[in-house]
Amino acid sequence: MKVLTILGARPQFIKAAAVSRVIREEVTELIVHTGQHYDANMSDIFFEELNIPKPDYHLGIGSGNHGKQTGEMLAKIEDIILTETPDFVLVYGDTNSTLAGALAAAKLHVPIVHIEAGLRSFNKKMPEEVNRILTDHVSTLLLCPTETAIQNLTNENISAGVYNVGDVMYDAVLYNKTLAESTSTILERENLKAKEYLLITIHRAENTDDVDRMKSILDAFSQIPETKVWPIHPRTKKKLEDYGFKLDQIPNLQVIEPVGYLDMLSLETSAKKIVTDSGGVQKEAYFAEVPCVTVRDQTEWVETLIEDANILTGTDTNKIVEAVQKQVSPSYTPVFGDGKTAEKVLALLKEHSI
Ligand code: UD1
Ligand code: UDP
């Protein structure tokens, strides 16, 4: 069986690290890296530290408007599918690389495996929502992380090929947790004391591309006296420069370059709270049992909201500050599977191969 896996963005490398290791025991996998993320600390670092197999094809597409970026990927992935004639095309999540892979495969009648199927924010202004709806509607195997995702697909009349396999990011955390504990020196390097700092990540277009929302978020950070560490996404860095916002005026804020996954796990585990708009980081906060504040209006990961484990604030300054200060003690019931998602993916690939 030959599987063509399409990767392009940081969270997809992390997910692939968990899945590729397992499926390669019984499947021939070829990896296509679209080049959507290309900085060393957004791409290469993950391949190196997580031992992700080197991509068989690197498309080098880079950044651009959605149409151009997705269109260029589509044309190149189509050529590769025609050359390689895979049994399945495997895509992760909801990025432009996901959509390009799914569209190319659908037009050539190659079955698509979508990992992280069924997630919805019900906000079609998000590029990710468009990408995931379209991908789900052309997929053959829809591998969902939660029962909510299954229900979302049922509501769209999709039932064939739908399975709850749990969350692949939980596999990734379980596999790398001990390694992160024993090797990461990020706390020492950044002079941070465990449970005495907040971890921040912001990159979602709905926030970064809206000057008022960004101002409101930064105002909240200014009002929070605790030490804050912020590995800044290149998109956010560029936007803040464009807006002329000065982060060095925010008290006790340490802005650092994006970090590798092991350093990130270490930063998450030792944080007092996490403030984010990332999908993956919301879940990792839950896995690490660290309270989270999500500066978005919706979340696809509604399970994390139980008992205020994650508080959804939007970008209202006061709501963010209040949520950060709120004392919470959630029970963190396991809702994201058993950490054996990759094994379930392999079993389903075998069951569905012709
Ligand atoms: C993309 C995904 C988003 C995902 C995120 C993970 C889409 C539409 N969005 O958002 O769902 O949550 O990845 O991090 O697919 N840039 C660099 N260097 C890089 C990569 C990006 O400088 O290596 C800068 C460029 O200015 C680029 C901007 O970041 O224009 C945005 O990059 P892009 O990949 O288009 O979207 P992300 O915001 O990263
Ligand atoms: N991450 C990382 N270094 C960072 C920031 C995030 O390794 O500096 C990891 C994080 O631990 C998670 C994933 O990247 O596994 C989340 O990716 P991101 O927030 O870029 O995208 P999203 O999940 O929102 O699509």
- Verdict on whether the full-model pTM lies above 0.90: yes
Residue 236 has a CB neighbour count (10 Å cut-off) of: 20
CATH superfamily of 2-167+337-352: Glycogen Phosphorylase B; (3.40.50.2000)
Structure-block tokens of residue 342: 């990759």
Our mutation pick for probing the ligand 2 site, out of 278, 292, 336, counting the most ligand atoms within 8 A of Cβ, is 278
Which burial class, exposed, middle or buried, applies to 124 when counting CB atoms under 10 A from its CB (0-12, 13-18, 19+)?
exposed
Catalytic residue among 33, 37, 114, 203: 203
Predicted pLDDT of residue 48: 97
User: Which pLDDT score is estimated for 258?
Assistant: 98
Report pLDDT for 34. Answer: 98
Ligand 2 atom nearest residue 95's Cα: 25
Q: Which two tokens stand for residue 119?
A: 């997630």
- pLDDT for 354 beyond 80: no
Q: What is the pLDDT of residues 149-191, one digit of tens each?
A: 999 999 999 999 999 999 999 999 999 999 999 999 999 999 9
Q: What is the pLDDT of residue 69?
A: 98
Does the annotation count 203 as an active-site position? Answer: yes
Q: Does 10 sit in the ligand 1 pocket, CB within 6 Å? A: yes
pLDDT digits (tens, 9 = 90+) for 41-95: 999 999 999 999 999 999 999 999 999 999 999 999 999 999 999 999 999 999 9
pLDDT in tens, 190-217: 999 999 999 999 999 999 999 999 999 9
Per-residue confidence (pLDDT) for residue 102, from 0 to 100: 99
For the chain, where do the domains classified as CATH 3.40.50.2000 start and end? 2-167+337-352, 175-325
Distance 36 CA to ligand 1 centre (A): 7
CATH topology of domain 175-325: Rossmann fold (3.40.50)
State how far the Cα of 42 lies from the Cα of 10, in Å rounded to an integer: 6
Atom 37 of ligand 1: nearest residue by CA position: 235
CA 103 to chain centre: 21
**Is the confidence at residue 309, as pLDDT, over 90?**
yes
Q: Report the distance separating Cα 326 and Cα 147, nearest Å.
A: 29
Say how many Å lie between the CA of residue 259 and the centre of ligand 2: 9
